[in-house]
Amino acid sequence: MAGHSYLPLRLPRLSEGRVGPIEIKDYVTELSLERGHIYEVIVSTFTEDGRATAAPMGITFVEDQSIVVRPFKTSLTFRNLRARRCGVANITLDPSLFYAAAFKWMDKKGEILLDRFERARRVDAPRITLADGYIEFTVDQVIDESVERGDFICSIRMAEGRTAIVKPYSRSTFATIESVIHATRVPEYLSRGWTERATRLSELIEYYGDLVARVSPNSQYEQILREIVSYVRGTWRKNEGSSAESI
């Protein structure tokens, strides 16, 4: 069966350590979120036929209860937000979760694996069960002026989070998340002929791969970077092959 029938009609019980829905303004204040800053999250949405999808993406706080989401116009998230008018910003600092959302949650048919999701509380959208926090939102306005991206002006309908667990800072965390984000943009840039931008991001990914291998050897982060580097190199080979065929 397809669509919503894959998702539970009832949300599973909240795990220990998670706080319930709180005042949105208090949540934004507690996280020390600044207006105008871009924060990397995983945005989850339903397709028009009800399949759950997720993608790493930046959101910007413009007011205490308002955010802007700016997906590429070629992305599935752009089409979903325009059609369904709502979504969830899943908050996490886990690089493996960003990587899974970008590349790994696909079955043999190319569909997102739905056992990673639960229903949102206040909007008609999925949310990721393993995330540390959620910002559920609805779309108020779509600004369609940019050639590359659409600007979705959204109202926050609910915010929920877990009790924070303090961990020492690791450069691998930053490097892995940045590499995932860069890797999702390389094929988009190459398809538009923006080879200089794609080259710059590819070089950064190679650098981060070396960094992670040095500071976190034999780790999950190193394995993720190896796969990302391989993916990006393969993307370049495919692009060069397509260019040669068109000559």
38, HSE (Cβ side, Cα atoms, 13 Å): 7
Q: Report, at the CATH architecture level, how domain 3-161 is classified.
A: Roll (2.30)
Q: Consecutive 10-residue runs of the chain (247 residues): their mean pLDDT?
A: 26 40 62 76 93 91 87 93 96 88 67 72 93 93 85 92 64 93 95 95 97 92 94 94 61
pTM: 0.74
Q: Can you give the length of the chain in residues?
A: 247
pLDDT at residue 22, as a whole number: 53
Label each residue of 148-201 as H, E or C: CECEEEEEEEEEEEECCCCCCCCHHHHHHHHHHHHHHHHHHHHHCCCHHHHHHH
Extents of the domains making up the chain = 3-161, 171-246
